Amino acid sequence: MTSAGTEQNAAEARARFWVIGHKGEPLPDLARVLGLAADGSTSIGEVKWAALPSPRDVWYIEEKEPASGDDYSSAVEGCLDRILTRLESVNAGDKLRAAGLTEMCEITLGGSAGDLRDVNIWHTPERLRRLAALGVALGEDFYQLAN
């Protein structure tokens, strides 16, 4: 198996904080607004994730790690905690609210798992408090790996 094939079939846990702009409207300079460099982005008109040009600006930071089996949920939770720590370190919640951007933001927990029954995320009261203080949506995007 090639290294590309290995990466493609490896179980991975991920948490990603997104800012997704309105169609046709550029986002402000989020590195300046938040004081964080993007881990990835797409500009209006850029062809990156699909065959068509992007109708929106997209900016994100991400934490990910290989994970499987009984350790999968803990890995996702760890990725989320690291994203929250990165955002808290720059007081992102207040900055996003001041810039009027919270409605364009979300945190997505996701990745690929050998068995989706391993994806049981536990949100502690402390983690829920941290998410509420940030004030953005939380979603999930998990995929079952083919055998």
pTM here? 0.87
∠ CA 52-58-82, rounded to 5°: 135
Tens of pLDDT, residues 30-49: 999 999 999 999 999 998 76
Reading the block at residue 112, the tokens are 């690929």
CB burial string 100-134: b at 16+ within 10 A, e below = ebbebbbbbbbbbbbeeebbebeeeeeeeebbeeb
CB 124 within 8 A of CB 79: no
The predicted model gives 104-131 an average pLDDT of 90
More confident residue, 57 or 147: 57
Domain locations along the chain: 3-142
Summarize pLDDT for 49-59 with one digit per residue, the tens. 677 899 999 99
Instruction: Please give the structure tokens belonging to residue 59.
Output: 């900016």
